Amino acid sequence: LPAVAWESGKPLSIEDVEVAPPKVHEVRIKVVAAGVCHTDWEYLYEAEKGMKFRPFPLVLGHEGAGIVESVGPEVTTFSPGDKVIPLFLPQCGECERCESAKTNHCRKNWANTQVGVLADGTSRISYQGQQVYQFLGVSAFSQYTVVPHTSLAKIRSDAPLDKVFLLGCGVSTGYGAAVNTAKVEKNSTCAVFGLGAVGLAAVMGCQVAGAKRIIGVDINPDKFAKAAVFGATECVNPKDHTMPIQEVLVKMTDGGVDYAVECVGSPSIMTAAFESTKDSCGSCVIAGWTETGVMNVKVEKILMGRTLRGTYFGGWKSVEDVPKLVNDYMKQKLKLDEFITHSLPLDQINVAFDLLRTGKSIRTVISL
């Protein structure tokens, strides 16, 4: 009984669908917990604005955790009963990109999963004979889903699925943006723009890296107390200032921050984040998601020595690194529980979207 998105701008509805058995190199999983990520909301309600079109009907959800129910032919690395996290970013382990230490952008089945189908060009989910597409090839808002075996991380059997599902998207993205992509250094000064799940994870990454000053930036002051829990040393609300936020930060830090991480997905905020860094050697990482926006960069601002970088899934090699992040959580090196502000059953998924839209939640765990 997944939550199906029939068309853009309409709430999800719970439907009785069929989830076909896995085909060659595929795994069917029973989803136990899923997270409501801003990208799911954005695709449903702002599909044509910030994202490329993907066909409807579809089952959203790309951040989840579950248990292997069955495996298709030629799958040797998974068995029924394994605890797993499905991945929108694959890792085949064989391509040029997987063999490179410079990138995590494996493109196995990429063109297909981006438009909601698996390797053979079809989805495994159907409603009364009609194909229902799988968002980013995952569809976590369903009690069962089928994913390619290269888009699945096997995790330790004692991991709590209702916590580690966060590593399927938001926390991995923000944390990795700071530690892998920005490579935040000890005693540095950092600014994180946007204090949702991705931003708070970036704050946590800055703290783990040993930054001495971590400035959280958000127009919702209700997020500030939570940011402090993750390591923010101070927070700034752009609405409290008449001058642009980048000028506020440059003034506060006597010349700009060493590292800025943008976690909103807004081109204007990306420009502000970039311009808040030190002119000679500042570094800005874009973690916020938009597919269609255009960012404005003044040539002089980059010419003087700033660096501008993007990150996808925090730079982690998905299949091999997600289990390590789960281990870090189990060893209490990584916070996860603190991100979860609400818990709701699948039939309350539209309530979870409202909590996200109104800024009342960081992460709602959907129990399936």
**pLDDT of the residue at 1:** 84
Total domain count, the chain: 2
Measure the CA–CA gap between 16 and 162, rounded to whole angstroms: 24
Measure the CA–CA gap between 5 and 282, rounded to whole angstroms: 42
Q: Strand, helix or coil at 355?
A: helix
Question: Which range of residues forms the domain containing residue 28?
Answer: 3-168+336-367
**pLDDT of the residue at 48:** 67
For the chain, where are the alpha helices, taking DSSP H only? 38-45, 47-50, 96-99, 110-114, 161-164, 170-176, 197-208, 224-230, 245-252, 267-275, 299-303, 318-330, 349-357
**Which 3-state string (H, E, C) describes 310-321?**
ECCHHHCCHHHH
Q: Give the chain's residues under pLDDT 70.
A: 47-48, 50
Query: Do residue 277 and residue 213 come from a single domain?
Result: yes
Q: Is residue 324 part of a domain?
A: no
Q: Is residue 193 part of a domain?
A: yes
Query: Do residue 34 and residue 136 come from a single domain?
Result: yes
CATH number at residue 282: 3.40.50.720
| CB-CB contact of 326 with 349 (8 Å) | no
- Read off the pLDDT of residues 283-320 as tens digits, 9 standing for 90 and up: 999 999 888 889 999 999 999 999 999 999 999 999 99
Query: Do residue 90 and residue 201 come from a single domain?
Result: no
Query: Do residue 192 and residue 207 come from a single domain?
Result: yes
| CB-CB contact of 190 with 184 (8 Å) | yes
Query: Do residue 225 and residue 362 come from a single domain?
Result: no
Query: Do residue 152 and residue 238 come from a single domain?
Result: no
Query: Do residue 17 and residue 160 come from a single domain?
Result: yes
Query: Do residue 201 and residue 303 come from a single domain?
Result: yes
Query: Do residue 28 and residue 159 come from a single domain?
Result: yes
Looking at the DSSP bridge assignments, the partners of residue 66 are: 31, 84
Through-space distance between the first and last CA atoms of the chain, rounded to whole angstroms: 9
Residues belonging to the chain: 368
Measure the CA–CA gap between 208 and 258, rounded to whole angstroms: 16
**pLDDT of the residue at 293:** 86
CATH number at residue 117: 3.90.180.10
Q: Is residue 325 part of a domain?
A: no
